[in-house]
Structure 1
Amino acid sequence: MNYWLVKSEPFKYSWDDFVKEGKSVWDGVRNYQARNNMMAMKKGDWVFFYHSNEGMEVVGLAEVQKEHFPDPTTEDPRWVVVELIPVKKFAKTVTLKTMKADDRLSGLALIKQSRLSVTPVAKAEFDIILSLAE
């Protein structure tokens, strides 16, 4: 199993929007590294849902329901999507400030590559963030 983090601006697409839909095709990604990360996602992988710009916090946990397939929002075959389903909203969000202050998370891709919309999360980092959310 692998672990990931996806970012969304809540005024465009929030955790609550995601829950209302019950699943989401993660589309519109136009960065090769983020695309490659999505291509590495496997069904059953866990995914943190992060609100960017507003809040700047991990708000919930999702699961990869369907592995990558062509992005339906473009005819360009280079771009892909994955299908995610919501698993759990965190009672306590984990802010970027909290993650930056935790030395154990200094290698977190979200911190090192802050503009990337889809990033890998190491198992140890996943466990730390999950424990901070409980």
Structure 2
Amino acid sequence: MALLGGRAMAYWLMKSEPEVYGIDDLRAEGTTLWDGIRNYQARNFMRSMEPGDLAFFYHSNSKPPGIVGLMEVIETRLIDPSQFDPQSKYFDAKSNPDQPRWDCARLRYSRTFAQLLSLEALKDSFSEEELGVVRRGNRLSILPVSEATATRLLRMLET
């Protein structure tokens, strides 16, 4: 088990549509604020993140969808500024600056894999219990990944 500052490092899978924000955008910027999460379960997963955790970057709503890269969590428990911006598609009129509803995290680009690991390949290799993204109808944009599954994913992505 990988330890990070006395605690086990966690792994995540984070989805983004490449037309909105893709791995190439992250590589160009170096870091990004992962904002706009408007699902409470995904938000709660993000609240569980700690600096040093690793996240698989998954291109969703693409042909084909799949894992394209790796990111490192560098900052957590940040207030998502888009919830207060009336011009943002992520504006939340019910969110109060004194008690914000939505958080975000800052992530750093780690690498782009030589080949995309497609959703079809993931379905062939992992059960729904091992990797939530293969579950039909799973729309969550942030999912936890066990260390054993992360190790298998990295092996597959590096061959």
Could you state the TM-score of these two structures normalised by the residue count of structure 2? Answer: 0.80
SS at match of 1:73: helix
Q: In structure 2, what residue type is equivalent to 1:111?
A: V
Greater percentage in helix: 1
Equivalent residue in structure 1 for 2:78, among 65, 69, 79: 69
- Quick one: distance in 1 between partners of 2:120 and 2:77? 31
In the other structure, the counterpart of 2:37 is 29
Give the structure 1 partner of residue 103 of structure 2: 80
- Aligned partner of 1:109 in structure 2 is 132
Q: Report the counterpart of residue 3 of structure 1 in structure 2.
A: 11
- Counterpart of 2:155 in structure 1 is 131
Give the Cα separation in 1 of the matches to 2:116 and 2:147: 19
How far did 1:109 drift?
Answer: 1.4
Which residue identity is paired with 1:59? V
Q: Tell me, which stretches of 5 or more residues in structure 1 are unaligned?
A: none
How many residues are paired up?
133
Deviation at 1:105, TM superposition (A): 4.0
Structure 1 residue 130, shift from structure 2 partner: 0.8
Please name the residue that 2:91 is paired with. none
Q: CA deviation at 1:8?
A: 0.4
Gaps of 5+ in 2: 1-8, 85-94
Q: Is the 8 A contact 1:58 1:94 kept in 2?
A: yes
Supply the distance in 2 between the matched residues of 1:3 and 1:20 (Cα, whole angstroms).
23
Q: Percent identity over the alignment?
A: 43
C-alpha deviation, 1:58, in angstroms = 0.3
Number of the residue aligned with 2:123: 100
Q: CA deviation at 1:126?
A: 0.6
Any conservation in 2 of the 1:109–1:119 contact (CA below 8 Å)? yes
State yes or no: 1:16 paired with 2:28: no
Report deviation, 1:106: 3.5
Retained in 2: the 8 A contact 1:105–1:125?
no
Q: Which amino acid aligns with 1:110?
A: V
Larger gyration radius, structure 1 or structure 2: 2
Shift of 1:92: 2.1
